[in-house]
Chains A and B, each alone.
Chain A
Amino acid sequence: MAGSKVASMRDAVAELVRDGDTVAIEGFTHLISFAAGHEIIRQRKRDLTLARLTPDLIYDQMVAAGVARKLIFSWLGNPGVGGLNAIRRRIEDADPAPLEIEEYSHFGMVGRYTAGAANLPFYPLRSYFETDMPVANPLIRPIESPYGDGVVYAVPPLRPDVTIVHAQRADARGDTQAWGLLGCQKEAAFAADRVIVVVEELVDEAVIRADPNRTIIPGLIVDAVVVEPFGAHPSYVQGTYDRDNRFYRDWDPISRDEAAIQAWLGEWVYDLDGRAAYTERFGAERVAALQPSGTAPSGSVDYGRYG
């Protein structure tokens, strides 16, 4: 198909993710492309700077696999469960090597992507007052309002080399629609030099055009469309599969033990050639157990025809 950006995950990552890149696999608990993270591990990329508000299990896995030299983040944990243990070992004990960190608050990270996307030199926010955060990260700086009404804090733009987002659907040109928690998928994509979207479903352009309000990322900024059903597991896709809380709990003991992590990476990443094999190994029964317990359709709106 002319103009199609549809690619395999292997080709998309091989071509668009390069050693030394700043990579943002965004998605606030929702729509996290574990499939892309695993492919980056499989291809043994190195020296990446990984940016995400919430590094989540995918960055714990990527850090454990040795792909990263630096982390940019705002909340480092396994929500409701505990810490990200592979990352903690690197930070607390430099085990097996130090990990550079650059830390913000959530709004700071959102502002960084926004400035990166909107071609601004900084993003101002009313946060960080009287805290140790600007001491820990000197890139968070106070600035005087040019209108003489006080001081706010600024954060610098973040322009990832590559942003990877998962979504419910896209067409072959990369026009991407998502619903549910949107995090800062849009800002992170617009801020990036290269964009990979990974979707549950490839749809006709007509489906996109029938509901343009739902398009968060236009094909204009997309370099590759990867079709990878179940590619966000153990995170989730609103309306398609649930968050696998059991996996998030199970990761805690695995990640406390370096040998157990490496064994897990062997079984679930290195030994597999892609997401289809992962899903098969995971098992139809557990996949089925993650289906929503019922439907909750939005109804529909009428955009009207004009001319």
Chain B
Amino acid sequence: MGPNAGVAFTKSEMMIVAAARELAGQHVCFVGVGLPNIAVNLAKRTVAPDLELVYEAGVFGAEPARLPLSIGDPTIVTGATAVTSMWDLFSLYLQGGRIDVGFLGAAQIDRFGNINTTVIGEYDHPTTRLPGSGGACEIAINAREVFVIMRQSRRSFVERIDFRTSPGNLGGAENAARIRRAQGWLGSGPSVVVTDLGVYHFDESGEMRLDALHPGATLDDVRATIGWEPKVAVELATTAPPSEEELRLVRVELDPDGAYTR
């Protein structure tokens, strides 16, 4: 999967490919609705063939033959290792500590990786009513670590999220670690955020740090689409562009209608 100069790709395709690569070496992944779904399915076809896909609908070890539009779809059942009730899935698999990575999307995120998927504006009088938690709240608390994939904009990367649906590093790593221990959370919080411009990890203070820029993206692009002054790695990397095979999988196998990559 070396660099592949000359083949054009979109920002969304680069984001999905970069997110999939982050799953190399992971074992059990709880797949969120939307962009995580295509990223995780791409990972299973590339860097993480043994990845166990867990869907909140009650599936462990899914082997989807097609990319489902919804995360509840007959293709995640046929050929799976186990299909369980949602109680089993949330109690025994998630709260029981069997999930390595929870892969989530978000509408708003702050520098500490706290996530809003509930409302824009006031809860009682929202300007935009978003879907809400689904399983995200308990995934963020109980998966060992949390990956996030979302497009970057001044509306989505904000100084203050309007509603905390899923907790990240709260107000900073030290305090968050103390609270997690005291309250018995199983997870250590967010570790990766992949956007259409780059890849962030979290530094020792619990704040997002830009570690790689996607090809073509600039620091100015990043600063223009983020609501705070972002931390940037001293040795900022450039993401390897999508390989021909990664692009083929996204375009031909996973998303022929462009539902995720528009």
Contact = CB atoms under 8 A, between A and B. Distances in A.
A-B complex is real: yes
Interface of A: 28-30, 53-54, 73-77, 79-81, 83, 87-88, 91-92, 103-107, 110, 114, 125-133, 135-136, 149-151, 179-184, 186-187, 236, 238-239, 242-243, 245, 248, 292, 296
Given A29-B72, A103-B132, 4 more contacts: A106-B138, A127-B141, A129-B141, A296-B78
Interface residues of chain B: helix, strand, loop or mixed (majority): loop
A125 B138 contact: yes
Contacts of B167: 129-131
Interface stretch (B55-63, B208-216, B222-230): B55-63
A110 B87 contact: yes
A182 B83 contact: yes
Given A92-B128, A129-B179, A182-B84, A81 B69 contact: yes
A243 B64 CA distance: 14
Contacts of B68: 80
B172 interface: no
Contacts of B79: 296
Given A238-B77, A296-B79, A187 B138 contact: no
B184 interface: yes
10 contacts: A74-B133, A75-B134, A76-B130, A80-B68, A106-B134, A110-B86, A129-B167, A133-B118, A151-B183, A238-B77
Nearest to B67: A80
Contact of A130 (B70, B77, B179): B179
B77 A79 contact: no
Interface residues of B, number: 57
B164 A130 contact: yes
B123 A92 contact: no
Given A136-B163, A184-B87, A130 B72 contact: no
B191 interface: no
A158 to B, nearest CB: 13
Given A28-B58, A91-B126, A106 B69 contact: no
Nearest to A94: B125
Contacts of A129: 141, 167, 179, 183, 185
A200 to B, nearest CB: 14
Interface in B161-183: 163-167, 170, 179, 182-183
B162 to A, nearest CB: 9
A182 B76 CA distance: 13
Nearest to A136: B123
B86 A28 contact: yes
A127 B95 CA distance: 9
B77 A180 contact: yes
A128 B33 CA distance: 19
Given A29-B72, A80-B34, A180 B83 contact: yes
A83 B83 contact: no
Contacts of B86: 28, 53, 106, 110, 182-184
Contacts of B2: none
A236 B74 contact: yes
A243 B73 contact: yes
B24 interface: no
